[in-house]
Amino acid sequence: MMLDVQNLVHRFPGGVNAVNDVSFSIAAGETLGLVGESGSGKSTIGLLVTRLLAPTGGTILFEGEDITRLPPAALRKLRARLQIVFQDPWGSLNPRMTIGRLLEEPLALHTTLDSAARIAEARRLADRVRLPAASLSRYPHELSGGQLQRVSIARAIANRPKLVVLDEPTSSLDLSVRAGILQLLDELQRETGIAMLFISHDLETVRLVSHRVIVLYLGRIVEQAPAATLFDNPAHPYTQVLLSAHLPPDPAMRLRRHEVTGEIPSPINLPPGCFFAGRCPVALPACTAAPPPAIALEAGHSAACLRIADGTNIIDPVEERA
């Protein structure tokens, strides 16, 4: 496995439980989608697995190496193999550096290439992500959002990493630009076998790019499955609610919606059982007592719901209309 995460936990100061006992793995050449509403812990997990944030508990194995508590010097060496692309390229690129210098920077940090070789490699990277050569002499404010995200991707792949975390990489882009970025990511993965952790609230995009998908609720995995299986046959009540809140791409399709009531638990004072139990239409008293185990439904598909055992985990839609 390229990445193996076991029992990952993170608590922020003040007792905020952001990530709660999360385990997953990613194979070489695989894209794992991570979805959930705001505050579910998606971005925190991205920061943890790239070690931009230190976990409170659990282990992170990258290419078989335990990177959970690497010292700073070892972390610097790790950066060449493990990269992240953030949502906002304007905030992650130095506005005082030209695009050419921005592309040379990771090469200067992690290779022994001389200046001429770095310049040549920066040109090759720009061409690979379909940036015009003229952009190398420009500054970030002179490029569009889509072009800047291509710069971020070029920087991330400069040292041929084994895993890239993509944290909402297309959410700030319009649809036409978004499609180009997704096509670029697909080409890069096919060419290099790179593994990707794709974090997004855009369910349709996740469905398109991911081999497998994990659904998070308040920092805990409630369901994981191959992408087609999860979107066609969601098993956990929360997954059903989450998917029903997303408009279908075809206006002619019938819209099946689920509605839930109740308050979302505070991440400072989480309940002992299923975090969704207080809002779940099919919850049992036992659901509030202890965290439900992940129940296997079929190969690669599991959900943490007690109602799966008796087949009453499916929520009836409260609205169905064209």
pLDDT at position 245 is 77
| Residues 173, 239 within the same domain | no
Q: Is residue 65 part of a domain?
A: yes
pLDDT at position 203 is 92
Q: Is residue 220 part of a domain?
A: no
| Residues 172, 274 within the same domain | no
pLDDT at position 177 is 84
Among 164, 183, 214, the domain-final residue is 214
Q: Is residue 222 part of a domain?
A: no
CB atoms within 10 A of CB 1: 15
> pTM, whole model, 2 decimals?
0.92
Among 186, 214, 242, the domain-final residue is 214
Task: Give me the domain span that covers residue 281.
Answer: 233-321
How far apart CA 274 and CA 289 sit, in angstroms, is 8
pLDDT at position 309 is 85
* Dihedral of the alpha carbons of 216, 220, 222, 223, in degrees to the nearest 10: 60
Contact 35, 227 (CB under 8 A): no
Q: What is the pLDDT along the chain (322 residues), one digit of tens a residue?
A: 999 999 999 999 999 999 999 999 999 999 999 999 999 999 999 999 999 999 999 999 999 999 999 998 999 999 999 999 998 888 889 999 999 999 999 999 999 999 999 999 999 999 999 999 999 999 999 999 899 999 999 999 999 999 999 999 888 777 878 888 899 999 999 999 999 999 999 899 999 999 999 999 999 999 999 999 999 999 999 999 999 876 555 555 555 566 777 889 999 999 999 999 999 989 999 999 999 999 999 889 999 999 998 888 877 766 555 4
How far apart CA 198 and CA 206 sit, in angstroms, is 7
3-class SS at 317? Answer: coil
Q: Is residue 224 part of a domain?
A: no
Q: Is residue 227 part of a domain?
A: no
Report the run of H or E that residue 109 belongs to, with start and end.
helix 99-110
pLDDT at position 176 is 79
| Residues 210, 237 within the same domain | no
pLDDT at position 322 is 47
DSSP state of 136: G
Q: Tell me the one-letter amino acid at 101.
A: R
| Residues 256, 166 within the same domain | no
| Residues 52, 199 within the same domain | yes
CATH of the domain at 141: 3.40.50.300
- How far the first Cα of the chain sits from its last, in Å, is 44
